[in-house]
Amino acid sequence: MNIDLTDGLGLLGAVLLLWAYFAFQRDRLGIFSFSVLNAIGSFLILLNLCFHWNLSSFAVEVGWFLISLYGAIKHRDKSSV
């Protein structure tokens, strides 16, 4: 199996998304960290999708990225308290 750089980044993004979700469900991760990891993970998947195009996956990841970015910004100040 040959994995190029963009596939590796996309795979890393998927692992980040899944790990963040699992850690959040186990109360091991706060909402700010969860949102940041989701934004990073979806961004990495979006990079992969620029080289291996899939419109529906791209649409989901753009939405996931924007919602996660919104959550990170919204909860940024609350996490420093």
Q: Mind listing the pLDDT tens digit for each residue in 37-73?
A: 999 999 999 999 999 999 999 999 999 999 999 999 9
Q: What is the DSSP string of the chain?
A: ----HHHHHHHHHHHHHHHHHHHHHTT-S-HHHHHHHHHHHHHHHHHHHHHS--HHHHHHHHHHHHHHHHHHHHHHHHHT-
Residue 81 confidence (pLDDT): 45
Q: Where are the domains of the chain?
A: 5-79
In this prediction the pTM is 0.89
